[in-house]
Chains A and B, each alone.
Chain A
């Protein structure tokens, strides 16, 4: 992190603005205690369903390919 935020202010108005923004910077909101468990729960769930989703996607792809092949054969007959 850089700590020279005020050094690149070009005008008096910018310097005043950076003073106000420093105040805002000192006010550090933090998330509720539920964030980490919620993220981990979703990640666990997503990891569990990912193999099934991939299998389903491959299955749909294979069916699509089959339909295209059959449709191509009919057209050529």
Chain B
């Protein structure tokens, strides 16, 4: 039994501090995945929703896969439900860049350019279809293995690989039609 499984068992026995430990251990990855899917502004709400869903379903955790994978599956569902409820098209925001300029006006030009590129790319990732976005975030940004992604998305392994390939193609097409020059080879 690993640390997470022990904490789950303690939480199920009524020890709320054990659940608190679980939240502390996984808050960063849950927040990051939520932020990449719905945007940073709403990631905290989605993270809270995901942890509470997990709390209410803790007895359903069987330990077949690591707790983190089980929790990320819940996070993915919470994020996609949140987005579906909102029903608004994601809009690329320039606010983070403007904040950065305001806060760190003396940032060197190359750092500023790198920051601008990251902000733009983050906005473009959110333009992907939900199923493509999730796979690309989990693999190419969070670095999960194909097996872990198959567990998180409840999708066969072969489908994960195919979906990732299509997600990258979709993102390349989006970037090629952007006014910003991404210098992507043909």
Known: A2-B144, A29-B43, A31-B27. A12 touches B139 (CB 8 A): no
Interface 1/0 per residue, B35-72 and A, CB below 8 Å? 10000100110011001100110000000000000000
Task: Count how many chain B residues have C-beta atoms less than 8 Å from C-beta atoms of the other chain.
Answer: 47
* Measured CA separation A24–B122 after assembly (Å): 7
Known: A23-B114, A28-B28, A36-B23. A43 touches B48 (CB 8 A): no
* Measured CA separation A72–B118 after assembly (Å): 67
Instruction: Give the distance to chain B from A43, nearest Cβ to Cβ, in Å.
Output: 5
The secondary structure that dominates the A interface is helix
Residue contact A21 to B141, C-beta cutoff 8 Å: yes
Cβ contact of A14, chosen from B44, B122, B172, B183, cutoff 8 A: B172
Q: Which residue of B lies closest to A28 (CB)?
A: B32
The secondary structure that dominates the B interface is helix
Instruction: Give the distance to chain B from A59, nearest Cβ to Cβ, in Å.
Output: 21
Interface 1/0 per residue, B112-144 and A, CB below 8 Å? 001001100110010000000000100111111
List B contacts of A43 (CB < 8 A).
Answer: 16, 19, 51-52, 55
Q: Which residue of A lies closest to B165 (CB)?
A: A10
Cβ contact of A31, chosen from B31, B56, B164, cutoff 8 A: B31
A24-56 interface (Cβ within 8 A of B): 24-25, 27-32, 34-36, 38-40, 42-44, 46-47
List B contacts of A16 (CB < 8 A).
Answer: 182-185
Residue contact A20 to B28, C-beta cutoff 8 Å: no
Instruction: Give the distance to chain A from B53, nearest Cβ to Cβ, in Å.
Output: 11
Task: Count how many chain A residues have C-beta atoms less than 8 Å from C-beta atoms of the other chain.
Answer: 36
Interface 1/0 per residue, A1-29 and B, CB below 8 Å? 11101001111111011101101110111
* Measured CA separation A18–B169 after assembly (Å): 12
- Interface contacts beyond A16-B182, A21-B140: sample of 19 additional A-B pairs, CB < 8 Å, sorted by A: A2-B143, A8-B161, A9-B168, A13-B184, A16-B184, A20-B121, A24-B121, A24-B141, A25-B140, A29-B43, A30-B27, A30-B31, A31-B27, A31-B28, A31-B43, A39-B23, A39-B52, A40-B20, A43-B51
